[in-house]
Amino acid sequence: MKSYKEMSKEELKAEGARLNEEYQKFLAKNLHLDMSRGKPCKEQLDISMGMMDVLNSKVDLRCEDGTDCRNYGCLDGIPEAKQLLGDMMENHPDNIIIYGNSSLNVMYDTVARAMTHGIMGNTPWCRLDKVKFLCPVPGYDRHFAITEYFGIEMIPVPMSPEGPDMDMVEELVRKDAAIKGIWCVPKYSNPQGYSYSDATVRRFARLEPAATDFRIFWDNAYCIHHLYDDDQDYLVEILAECKKAGHPDMVYKFASTSKITFPGSGIAALATSLNNLEDIKKQLKNQTIGHDKVNQLRHVRFFKDIHGMTEHMRKHADIIRPKFEMVEQMLSEGLDGLEIGTWTKPKGGYFISFDALDGCAKEIVSKAKKAGVVMTGAGATWPYGKDPQDSNIRIAPTLPPVEELKTATELFVLCVKLASVEKLLEA
């Protein structure tokens, strides 16, 4: 089809009239579809139901070191859970703390602890005139919400398929001691599905920050969330690279089983240096006697080891891969050649990132919502919810059933076209 940018005003008006007729038909359908967040669908949750059967009132609830999981103990997690999550995160169990159900909670606590008590003897952030964080964009809205909540100034850093703009990152952290951290989703990033290149990871490990308490917040949320068996992204392991570079304490690495077993009922983990662990445990022992060891044991008994977890993730991939491929195909069939949008084609993770014409994202999301499809708010992938180009939209294909997803994507394509025609007619 002819590019919208090449159409005359008369052609655009005719196209707009045709698209509006289609849109009115969608309005009449009274749809109620939700594509707003990256939630697992029912079929994904169902494959973990066996975890509810591995523990009962008759089984031995002691872990391998003899600890009774019904009682107090194991502040940093039971040994076999540290082994399982360590294998998942590619880190030694001695460098792992097992937490409760949410890695986001761990990230929040990590920032809060730095605010009130500082990191490894450094000045608490709340006593400083200014605290700043680097934020690769587009990025994860809940990361940005944490730093905004604590009044930390956020500095956007452009993303590419290789990862954040490392020239910019290196210069900023070298020059400004107020920059205390950077948010990262290094594998199958939220929302683009990019994985950091080997060179990017090694440049992270070799950063020379002005702040001695600068930390990389490495949220490896999608570390084993591949869509394909034969085409997967791999990351250089950041803790090992930092140690090699002489910066063993510079990274906090987070992960959880939220999108592996049950969101809200999984287990989370933090991997970091022994120095950082000692610093964290000083606070942790005042916060809790220990996290849910029964749930940790349940996960271990269900998966047995990392091989069981890997097989489980293949089942997830089989469920959601057709959804991603369908959305990508419909975007291609509906928009190729029109020059009004580009999108990513991730090999894993939970999202597709769509970039519309500048100034169109809010209008596209608004039109979709009016017709009954709720999407992630335009601007959510930027700090403070402000996308300066008003162009990025996060597509979350996992939750809706296939037929609903097909309808929602059809409507989305229509809204992209309609908003783009209106924008071009304004020019």
| Chain mean pLDDT for the chain | 97
For the chain, domains (ranges, CATH) are 4-44+310-426 (3.90.1150.10), 61-304 (3.40.640.10)
CB 176 within 8 A of CB 155: no
Distance from CA of residue 73 to its chain's centroid? 31
Q: pLDDT-based confidence at 318, cuts 50/70/90? A: very high
Distance (Å, whole) CA 342 – CA 192: 11
Position 151 scores a pLDDT of 98
Average of per-residue pLDDT across 341-345: 98
Distance (Å, whole) CA 343 – CA 333: 13
H-only helix segments in 176-220: 198-205
CB 382 within 8 A of CB 144: yes
Percent of the chain clearing pLDDT 90 (strictly above): 99
Position 427 scores a pLDDT of 81
**pLDDT, tens digit, 9 for 90 and up, residues 404-421:** 999 999 999 999 999 999
Token output for 33: 């579809």
Residue 199 pLDDT > 80, yes or no? yes
Percent of the chain clearing pLDDT 70 (strictly above): 100
Whole-model pTM: value is 0.97
Burial of 32 (0-12, 13-18, 19+ CB in 10 A): exposed
Burial of 272 (0-12, 13-18, 19+ CB in 10 A): buried
Average of per-residue pLDDT across 176-180: 98
Position 81 scores a pLDDT of 98
Question: Mutual orientation of helices 79-89 and 306-335 as an angle, nearest 10°?
Answer: 40
**pLDDT, tens digit, 9 for 90 and up, residues 122-173:** 999 999 999 999 999 999 999 999 999 999 999 999 999 999 999 999 999 9
Distance (Å, whole) CA 31 – CA 253: 41
Question: DSSP assignment, residue 226?
Answer: B
Token output for 220: 């490896």
CB atoms within 10 A of CB 33: 19
Q: Which of 31, 219, 216, 33 is nearest to 133 (CA)?
A: 216
Question: What SS3 state is found at 240?
Answer: helix
Token output for 266: 């999984």
By mean pLDDT, which of 31-35, 177-181, 214-218, 272-276 is the weakest?
31-35
Residue 1 pLDDT > 90, yes or no? no
Beta pairing partners, 181: 133, 215
Instruction: Decide which of 71 and 35 is more confident.
Output: 71
Question: What SS3 state is found at 342?
Answer: strand
